[in-house]
Structure 1
Amino acid sequence: MQYAYHVMQPAAIIEQTPSQKFMIPTDDASTKGFLLKTKGCRIPELKPIDGNIKRFIFAEKAVVCNNGRPPLVESNQTCLFIVKSALEAYDVNITSLLTCCYQMFLRIDPTDGKKYGKIKFKDCIAFNDSIEVDDKAEFVKVTCLYNNTMLYKDFFSFIPLKPIPPLKNSETKLNVLILGIDSVSRLNFHRQMPKTSAALRKIKTVELLGYNKVGDNTFPNLIPVLTGWNESELKKNCWPNTTSYFDDCPFIWKRFAENGYATAFAEDASWMGIFNYQRRGFKQQPTHYFWDTFDGEAEKQIGNKHRMNVDQCLGPREAYKVLVNYAEKFVESIQFLYNKPYFGFFWSSSLSHDFLNKPKLGDEFFEGFISRLYQKNLLQNTVFIFMSDHGIRWGDIRSTFQGRIEERLPFIHIYIPEWYRNDFPLAYSNLARNSQRLTTPYDLHKTLEDLLDPYALSRDFLHRRQENRTERREYSLFEAISPERTCENATISEHWCTCQSTVKIATNESVVVEAANFTVDFINRLLVGYADCVSLELDEVLDSSLQMQQQDIEGKRSKRDYTLTLRTKPGSALFEATVRRESKENQNYDYEIVGTISRINLYGRQSLCMADFHLKLYCFCRQLL
């Protein structure tokens, strides 16, 4: 949405000496100082530990689940068993008095308009030492009594064989495994998870240096990956409003399922999940294996160590570890037990969503997961994509230039099996070359489409595609992306674009003051009709800069984009906005908001009176005055 108004008074233009101007090197110049340097996009190179951000980096305390008590029951692929070494921690002295049982449970589809369906529990099946669970068991609840008194409760998930359509041909399929960690920038990934980064280098993943987000939060950055559409297109075609279910939308996992793949979708902290936060989710489960059912019930009954938005633990285990262990169990079962190809999408928010420094706590765990995948030959026929959606969106670091750039550049690594690299060298060399191109979530979707038929990506096929292609916003990463690609070509809003050169300007310049007042006025217009929200006022402009692209420096545009960080009152909300000023006749100017106005500090309880998930960023509830 864009809204513009006319300013009669001309704004001042800052004159700079040559030494003050941000100079963009020519194509022949050194790439020193740039992470990405193409004709269409120059992204500055920043250090993971820069002097300006050292003060934000510290060691988080390890999470202690269940007050330090270990698991009393564990599972493998098919069995539950009591952990004898844990008996002492639960003061179990007479094992004959310890009795456990497990209950299978399943999801009942919600009735029209309801967000969640009911959970149906079956009879409890007793065991004393270990037991092989029913071959139809997917999710189970375990309870243990000691001397007829409740002692322990736990939840486990399994991978039963399900009816999956047969493969359409006998060719070896490439599995697709996507594992995401929410809110981790590329630089913060290297800063916090060096062991995991080393494990990825060891198996020779391709890291996309110029992967630029296209929206504010998780939803608008993953919808393009999963559907190829943006949020507006999703609403137009299959999801008319927030009370609608997502069942009719063309998620990529549907196409894999049609081709005979087993499909899985799982996320921890599912209450605020991709399709659940302020939304209705799915009426029918979207994939063959759908873990939200498990996570929602487990959080309700055994979630603990709540911090900010998430339960960090499910019983005695950290939530993200439970999710990733489920992913590993899924991969092993589908590949080795059932001999099926699979598409698995696993998304973790519980570790990293709210805190810049918490990913460090998961470094060794993710290193181990990646190493096991490789050592067990689970990646032999698998494209493995390890990624995030954006960097951290709030906190003190977001008020810095580096924090703003990091937020727009999430990490993404792509593993291609060695045999496929050798058999399809052009597809792989294009992917490797595209690591130094501007890329987007739309490109990742086109890549997933190509993986539906990876054997088609021959040299001749890719050459023909290159010769016949038209200008569009998305390209498969297996085809050559032009070095002339710009944010505009890729439909990345100027507000999210990292290809710009930044020139700091004084916060008291008239153009900045006008742009700041315009921004606050724009926010208040968004809130018209919501009587519970007060009208905001400009408190202070904290930072301002002019964003310049190659066209600006070459004098080819009459528009200028200003990025502002400002504080409003009441509530001390911090907003970041990109405001475009366009020159008109008679020294007049038009202003417009480009993209989304970002909220870069937490709104917490300030917006409890607002149900719209977009407007919660801006509302300060009148009842708090």
Structure 2
Amino acid sequence: IGFSTIFIFYALLSTQIFSFDFDYFRELVPASSSVDEIGLFSTCVLAEFDKDGWTKEIIEKSEIDWDPIKKCDEKFMPYTILGENGTIWLNKNKEGVDGVNCWARSANDDAILNISALFPMIQVGKDPSLNSDFVHTSCQKVKNTSEVVEDFIHLQMWDAKDDGGPKRKATTKKPASSRRKSTKFPNPSNLEKEEEIDEKPSLFIFVFDSVANSQALRSLPKTISLLEHEFDAVNLRHVNKVGENSHPNGIAFLIGKLITELDKGIFGMGKEKADWDANHSCYRYFDDDPFILKEFTKKGYKSLMAEDWANGVFNYPNCWGFKNPPVTHYMRPFQIYYESDLEQSRKLMGEDQCFEYHTFLFNYLDKFIKAYKESPKISMIWASEVAHNYNDGLFHVDAQLFNYFKEHRELLDKSYVFLMGDHGIRWGKIRNTWIGDREINNPMMFVSVPKHLRERVNPILRENSNKLLTSFDIHASLVDILNEPHLEALAGPRGLRGVSFFRSLPPGERSCRTLPIPIQFCLCEWNKTKSEEKEVNEEIGRGAINVLNEKLKEYQIDNSCEKYTFHSTTDVKMIDRSDGLTEILFTANECQAQFKSIVRARRLESGRLNVTLAASDFTRWNSYGNMAACMNSRAPLRPLCCCR
């Protein structure tokens, strides 16, 4: 949608054409011919934005030059060097190295919080081998042993065995449908050629937490251009998140399980039970579950999982995660040590030294790629820090990611590449814009398949890029790669919640009524009329607060969480063609908590306005952090709580 269209849209909202008679709320409204909720929800109109993701409002709120490592020490080097086979030595090229004493230890168990108790330090140069992917070094000045000058964690691929993998012949050519028109990148020959390819192409998943589709277009223009022109990647524009945060969305696309009940009462349907309840999705180990990276590992792939936060997708906020490493190379021990003294880690191995949280992930993946040149590989790196809390955090990463993909172009060109988010940004200045309201539910999803498959597969991907998709469809697509590495003979349902986007989607309705998407996250667009009547808005807001307090009682957390009292409404919109369905954003006095949801507001004969919850639940609209710490043992309920 261009600037002119946006202007016309908002102009129309203020005219009589879009006006609404709020006498609706002042009487008991009988069913009328204008109410058509079946027709309303059985169709799905999906919004389209400018191809670069920018609007005038976003431009005014963005700082594209923000870069936390702009002034870092590019010549930094540690006092120690990790050599081959786990050997650690003093770096003779480091200034002042003669005036320090250094020690080292390995750290390879993510269950050990007190690493020093299990892995004692040995003096650098005294032991030839440190058998771990992670080697921690610490250096103190000889004349002042209390002054720590190095606290560093080296990375390696310990005990890597590049077993190789079978090959096959394939004929490749430039796809006829290719959109490669740029002169910035060299074009491959149009001629068909036979070449040797991997029997099992590798798969690289890059997850950037809290990055929406249109956000990626404006924040990663160089990277997206490279993917689309060099790798013929397809932008799946309408992926819909299925849960509030990373945990439910991650479990959906990595294991294929629904962990929150779906209330479809708004569609005249019943409740759809979750596959796992809150305890099952958190307070047990995931070792026996079909985690997709583990399933690939069973089939002979070398595997890597790296997150930049110890409390990642399977551990937040205090879930058990995995008892044993689920992949060949598991980075969580690194994060546990780095975060054990975060202040010192950031001081000596942080932005001043040109290290960002995601830098370690890319360095680890780089070593993985080089260690397993011949073996089939699957990796997932999940970068949370760079964009989770920062609207402008991704801009400076564009050049880094572009260069990384260019460096590994030959490998990535014959592999599957998923560049994706888990949901959009959930707080900040963009959140309250028109485009930000949609972005929160619409994670980034770019897919590139091995070049020998593009002529056959990309037309299907492009067809599906216009359709409503979910996190479960991502999971089904990964299962297709697992079972048919070259996407051959894809047939038959498999009892999954999603449908692979490598297949033509089944005919029929694809909407939030038919897909496992909570209504409060739905990307489908409905005509709404903004209410400007302050008294009515306040009355609906007070009713919504009462419903929220009843929810706290229903969840049996009202003794731990404050009872909310009404402060104000920020936005009230009536959904056209519905029987009182209202989208409301309101603020409570307690914790200044903001919530958004869809309620149904009807005026009873008694004159009282009856407000009921039409969505599955309330969505927290602003950051809550430690204000919800009392709910750490019941993670899904944290957004609803303001602790007493």
Asked if these proteins are the same fold (TM beyond 0.5), I'd say: yes
- Give the aligned partner of residue 353 of structure 1: 388
* CA deviation after TM superposition for structure 1 residue 247, in Å: 2.4
> Alpha carbons of 1:165 and 1:575: their partners in 2 closer, same or farther (altered >3 Å)?
farther
Q: Do the aligned partners of 1:394 and 1:599 also contact (CA within 8 Å) in 2? A: no
2:135 pairs with 1:105: no
2:242 pairs with 1:214: yes
281, 298, 320: which one pairs with 2:358?
A: 320
* CA deviation after TM superposition for structure 1 residue 580, in Å: 4.4
2:149 pairs with 1:151: yes
- Give the aligned partner of residue 577 of structure 1: 597
The number of residue pairs the alignment matches comes to: 559
315, 329, 338: which one pairs with 1:289?
A: 329
Secondary structure at 1:398 match in 2: coil
- Give the aligned partner of residue 505 of structure 1: 530
* CA deviation after TM superposition for structure 1 residue 245, in Å: 2.5
CA-to-aligned-CA distance 1:350-379 (integer Å, 9 cap, x gap): 1111011111121211111111120xx222
CA-to-aligned-CA distance 1:409-434 (integer Å, 9 cap, x gap): 11111111111224xx1x33212221
* CA deviation after TM superposition for structure 1 residue 183, in Å: 0.7
> Alpha carbons of 1:66 and 1:269: their partners in 2 closer, same or farther (altered >3 Å)?
farther
Q: Do the aligned partners of 2:28 and 2:605 also contact (CA within 8 Å) in 1? A: no
Residues 407-446 of structure 1 aligned to structure 2 (within 5 Å): 407-422=440-455, 425=456, 427-446=457-476
Counterparts of 1:258 and 1:472, CA distance in 2: 20
Question: What amino acid is aligned across from residue 385 of structure 1 in structure 2?
Answer: F
2:635 pairs with 1:613: yes
29, 38, 45: which one pairs with 1:41?
A: 45
Counterparts of 1:229 and 1:343, CA distance in 2: 21
Counterparts of 2:640 and 2:388, CA distance in 1: 20
Counterparts of 2:325 and 2:117, CA distance in 1: 13
* CA deviation after TM superposition for structure 1 residue 598, in Å: 1.6
Q: Do the aligned partners of 2:405 and 2:412 also contact (CA within 8 Å) in 1? A: no
Secondary structure at 1:352 match in 2: helix
504, 526, 530: which one pairs with 1:480?
A: 504
Counterparts of 1:237 and 1:254, CA distance in 2: 22
* CA deviation after TM superposition for structure 1 residue 513, in Å: 5.1
Question: What amino acid is aligned across from residue 620 of structure 1 in structure 2?
Answer: C
Counterparts of 2:635 and 2:164, CA distance in 1: 41
2:480 pairs with 1:450: yes
Counterparts of 2:281 and 2:200, CA distance in 1: 37
2:59 pairs with 1:54: yes
Question: What amino acid is aligned across from residue 547 of structure 2 in structure 1?
Answer: F
Secondary structure at 1:236 match in 2: coil
- Give the aligned partner of residue 258 of structure 1: 298
* CA deviation after TM superposition for structure 1 residue 602, in Å: 1.6
Question: What amino acid is aligned across from residue 342 of structure 1 in structure 2?
Answer: K
CA-to-aligned-CA distance 1:167-199 (integer Å, 9 cap, x gap): 899971021111111111112212222222222
2:253 pairs with 1:225: yes
Question: What amino acid is aligned across from residue 600 of structure 1 in structure 2?
Answer: W
> Alpha carbons of 1:51 and 1:443: their partners in 2 closer, same or farther (altered >3 Å)?
same
- Give the aligned partner of residue 600 of structure 1: 621
> Alpha carbons of 1:67 and 1:379: their partners in 2 closer, same or farther (altered >3 Å)?
closer
CA-to-aligned-CA distance 1:56-97 (integer Å, 9 cap, x gap): 21246432599858232465876767666652xxxx2xx544
Q: Bigger shift: 147-156 or 174-183?
A: 147-156
2:590 pairs with 1:537: no
Question: What amino acid is aligned across from residue 418 of structure 2 in structure 1?
Answer: I
* CA deviation after TM superposition for structure 1 residue 11, in Å: 5.8
CA-to-aligned-CA distance 1:526-549 (integer Å, 9 cap, x gap): 33343242211222111122346x
Counterparts of 1:485 and 1:340, CA distance in 2: 39
287, 295, 304: which one pairs with 1:247?
A: 287
> Alpha carbons of 1:44 and 1:143: their partners in 2 closer, same or farther (altered >3 Å)?
same
- Give the aligned partner of residue 544 of structure 2: 519
Q: Do the aligned partners of 1:351 and 1:358 also contact (CA within 8 Å) in 2? A: yes
Secondary structure at 1:451 match in 2: helix
433, 443, 447: which one pairs with 1:400?
A: 433
Q: Do the aligned partners of 2:106 and 2:130 also contact (CA within 8 Å) in 1? A: no
* CA deviation after TM superposition for structure 1 residue 207, in Å: 0.9
Question: What amino acid is aligned across from residue 324 of structure 1 in structure 2?
Answer: F
> Alpha carbons of 1:85 and 1:331: their partners in 2 closer, same or farther (altered >3 Å)?
same
Q: Bigger shift: 340-349 or 579-588?
A: 579-588
181, 197, 205: which one pairs with 1:178?
A: 205
Q: Do the aligned partners of 1:137 and 1:160 also contact (CA within 8 Å) in 2? A: yes
- Give the aligned partner of residue 4 of structure 1: none
- Give the aligned partner of residue 270 of structure 2: none
Question: What amino acid is aligned across from residue 429 of structure 1 in structure 2?
Answer: P
348, 368, 380: which one pairs with 1:330?
A: 368
Secondary structure at 2:443 match in 1: coil
> Alpha carbons of 1:123 and 1:562: their partners in 2 closer, same or farther (altered >3 Å)?
same
* CA deviation after TM superposition for structure 1 residue 55, in Å: 3.2
* CA deviation after TM superposition for structure 1 residue 349, in Å: 0.8
2:159 pairs with 1:161: yes
- Give the aligned partner of residue 342 of structure 1: 377
CA RMSD of aligned residues (A): 4.1
Residues 61-76 of structure 1 aligned to structure 2 (within 5 Å): 61-64=66-69, 70-72=76-78, 73=80
> Alpha carbons of 1:526 and 1:242: their partners in 2 closer, same or farther (altered >3 Å)?
farther
Q: Do the aligned partners of 1:158 and 1:329 also contact (CA within 8 Å) in 2? A: yes
* CA deviation after TM superposition for structure 1 residue 106, in Å: 1.9
- Give the aligned partner of residue 172 of structure 2: none
Secondary structure at 1:223 match in 2: helix
Counterparts of 2:408 and 2:129, CA distance in 1: 27
Counterparts of 1:604 and 1:109, CA distance in 2: 25
Higher normalized strand content (fraction of residues): 1
Question: What amino acid is aligned across from residue 539 of structure 1 in structure 2?
Answer: H
CA-to-aligned-CA distance 1:221-261 (integer Å, 9 cap, x gap): 11110011111477638952643232232211222122111
Q: Do the aligned partners of 2:29 and 2:603 also contact (CA within 8 Å) in 1? A: no
Counterparts of 1:64 and 1:356, CA distance in 2: 17
Residues 364-379 of structure 1 aligned to structure 2 (within 5 Å): 364-374=399-409, 377-379=410-412
Q: Do the aligned partners of 1:105 and 1:122 also contact (CA within 8 Å) in 2? A: no
Secondary structure at 2:56 match in 1: coil
Counterparts of 1:248 and 1:418, CA distance in 2: 34
Q: Do the aligned partners of 1:185 and 1:390 also contact (CA within 8 Å) in 2? A: yes
> Alpha carbons of 1:590 and 1:620: their partners in 2 closer, same or farther (altered >3 Å)?
closer
Counterparts of 1:186 and 1:512, CA distance in 2: 32
- Give the aligned partner of residue 182 of structure 2: none
Q: Do the aligned partners of 1:71 and 1:316 also contact (CA within 8 Å) in 2? A: no
Question: What's the TM-score once normalised by structure 2's chain length?
Answer: 0.76
Q: Bigger shift: 603-612 or 186-195?
A: 603-612
- Give the aligned partner of residue 397 of structure 2: 362
Counterparts of 1:388 and 1:206, CA distance in 2: 15
* CA deviation after TM superposition for structure 1 residue 597, in Å: 1.5
> Alpha carbons of 1:155 and 1:381: their partners in 2 closer, same or farther (altered >3 Å)?
same
- Give the aligned partner of residue 555 of structure 1: none
